[in-house]
Structure 1
Amino acid sequence: MNLRHREVHLFFNALTFFTRVPAPDWVEFSSEHLNRASRYFSWIGLLVGAAAALIYLLAAEFFPAPIAILLSMLASIWLTGGFHEDGLADVCDGFGGGWEKKQILTIMKDSRLGTYGALGLCFALFIKFQTLSFTEQIVPALLLAHTLSRFAALTLIYSDDYVREDIDSKAKPLANRMSRKELMIAGIPVLICLIPLGPKVWLVIVPVWLMRNWLSQFFRRWIGGYTGDCLGATQQLCELVVYLYFCLPFVLLA
């Protein structure tokens, strides 16, 4: 199998893992492919952001902007199956209700939604809606937020340790350390989104990186590394940071 052919299989392994989009019948699925497919995490984010932006543009032709934004949010959640939102809720429950590593990991693994998870999820969705309602650059914000936030989460795989030991974890296949080349491949869609937007928007990398680093240190301090839920929470919180950045006065006036 040549490299190009292998990369196509890796991409579709990532696509079916992170979204509800089906892959062609000829795609080969394996744990080995999924181990290497994390390099396409941010590429999937670009596709999800593009789908959300498209739904917004289509809905805005027929409905008021707030309804178009809600439909766009709904489309992205449906497309991903709420994969990362679930991670955020589990992290809120785990770290909100747990006091030591074993207890935190046990709570996060529980499929039931607790008070902390419900509050975290509701506030996250509300902030998304409000921030998107305040910016006139909705399409660039959606594209960049979905892409950059997934890249930020992906860097935890590159730098931190995976701490869950059970084989049933949904992120276990992606827990292998990434190479620098794989990380560079994952960073390309971020550049695709950033380059057309100009220097004022490029600065969004700073608050996103600060959020990513704070979460990394927080996870290390409490559980010694990351889990799949931690990756989902990192993606969601970094996505919120991008939307908040687009609401800053100097960006709104750009």
Structure 2
Amino acid sequence: MASDPAERWEELKVGLMLLTRLPVGLVREEAPSVAASAWSWPLAGLAVGGLAAFVYWLATALGLTGPLAATLAVLATVLATGGLHEDGLADLADGFGGGRDKTRVLEIMRDSRIGSYGTLAIGFSLLIRVLAIGALSRWDAVWGFLAIAAASRAVMPAALHLMPPARSDGLGSGASGVTQEAALAAALTGCACLLPFGLIDAALVAAAMAAAAFWVGRRAMSRIGGQTGDVCGAMQQVAEGTGWLALVALQGTLG
């Protein structure tokens, strides 16, 4: 990680350009690497989550029900990211569902067409998020958009640091080389964003999200021997859905 504030700002812009479609302006001629921007990915999540939180708050203020407001807010996250992580989840589901060996799995994952496994994965991912958000109290949902969007993107730098690339090209290979410092900074930022829910609840939600991401990582290691951009996207999606489910479970327990 760079120590110069100007360098950090450039890295943040690269992170926002990579993970969102939000306008961030131009980066300088010698742009930081994708790996160098990894510490900032939870902050990119905060930007996406902030947009979704505003849409949810506005929708509920206008009298829309929780599920309708949740649907609009989740749509806002998809628009803000261009469906980047959803695409990764779909590709991973198609590859793991239809491929018998590493070569075939990677071939399917690279295919731009979506299959039945990918369609089902995206559908259930969206459904779980909308129903979980709709089941939460208004302010838990608002804070949840910020916290979970950040925390779910904190798992990707750890994956890129700990897992080897599964192929010699592609985003996963280009983003490999994330340092332990950057991965730890991202993890701490993600965990800190969960603290508005209280220390114990934050720890439980973070543990659930980390376990979900770890499960995806273990499956990727056994099937293709490492990470790709699609693996990282799937890890974010599974961690995000798990985070929302954990919040619902905790609210039900406390309520």
Q: Same fold (TM over 0.5)?
A: yes
Q: Is residue 168 of structure 2 the alignment partner of residue 165 of structure 1?
A: yes
1:33 partner SS: coil
Q: Is residue 152 of structure 2 the alignment partner of residue 175 of structure 1?
A: no
1:226 partner SS: coil
Q: Is residue 233 of structure 2 the alignment partner of residue 232 of structure 1?
A: yes
Within 5 Å, give how 1:97-108 maps onto structure 2. 97-108=98-109
Measured in 2, the distance between the counterparts of 1:20 and 1:131 equals 25
Q: Is residue 60 of structure 2 the alignment partner of residue 66 of structure 1?
A: no
- 1:9/1:88 Cα in 2 relative to 1: closer, same or farther (>3 Å)? same
Within 5 Å, give how 1:183-202 maps onto structure 2. 183-198=183-198, 199-202=200-203
Within 5 Å, give how 1:118-157 maps onto structure 2. 118-136=119-137, 137-157=140-160
Measured in 1, the distance between the counterparts of 2:30 and 2:172 equals 14
Number of paired residues? 250
Measured in 2, the distance between the counterparts of 1:201 and 1:3 equals 31
1:172-230 CA distance string (max 9 Å, x none)? 43222x22221232134324322222113321122222212222211111111111000
Within 5 Å, give how 1:22-41 maps onto structure 2. 22-25=23-26, 27-28=27-28, 30=30, 32-41=32-41
Residue identity matched to 1:237: V
**Unpaired runs of at least 5, structure 1:** none
- 1:31/1:92 Cα in 2 relative to 1: closer, same or farther (>3 Å)? farther
Task: State the Cα distance separating 1:249 from its structure 2 match.
Answer: 5.1
| Partner residue, 1:203 | 204
Residue identity matched to 2:192: I
Residue identity matched to 1:242: G
1:225 partner SS: coil
Residues 9 and 29 in structure 1, CA contact (< 8 A), matched pair in contact too:
no
Task: State the Cα distance separating 1:42 from its structure 2 match.
Answer: 1.3
Task: State the Cα distance separating 1:2 from its structure 2 match.
Answer: 7.3
1:165 partner SS: coil
Measured in 1, the distance between the counterparts of 2:241 and 2:76 equals 17
| Partner residue, 1:3 | 4
- TM-score for both structures, normalised by structure 1: 0.91
Residues 35 and 174 in structure 1, CA contact (< 8 A), matched pair in contact too:
yes
Identity within the alignment, % = 30
- 1:29/1:57 Cα in 2 relative to 1: closer, same or farther (>3 Å)? farther
Q: Which moved more, 1:123-132 or 1:207-216?
A: 207-216
1:144-189 CA distance string (max 9 Å, x none)? 21111111222101111111223xx24443222x222212321343
Residues 37 and 174 in structure 1, CA contact (< 8 A), matched pair in contact too:
no
Residues 211 and 238 in structure 1, CA contact (< 8 A), matched pair in contact too:
yes
- TM-score for both structures, normalised by structure 2: 0.91
1:126 partner SS: helix
| Partner residue, 2:48 | 48
- 1:2/1:202 Cα in 2 relative to 1: closer, same or farther (>3 Å)? closer
What is the root-mean-square deviation in Å for CA atoms of aligned residues?
A: 1.9
Residue identity matched to 2:181: K
Task: State the Cα distance separating 1:79 from its structure 2 match.
Answer: 0.3
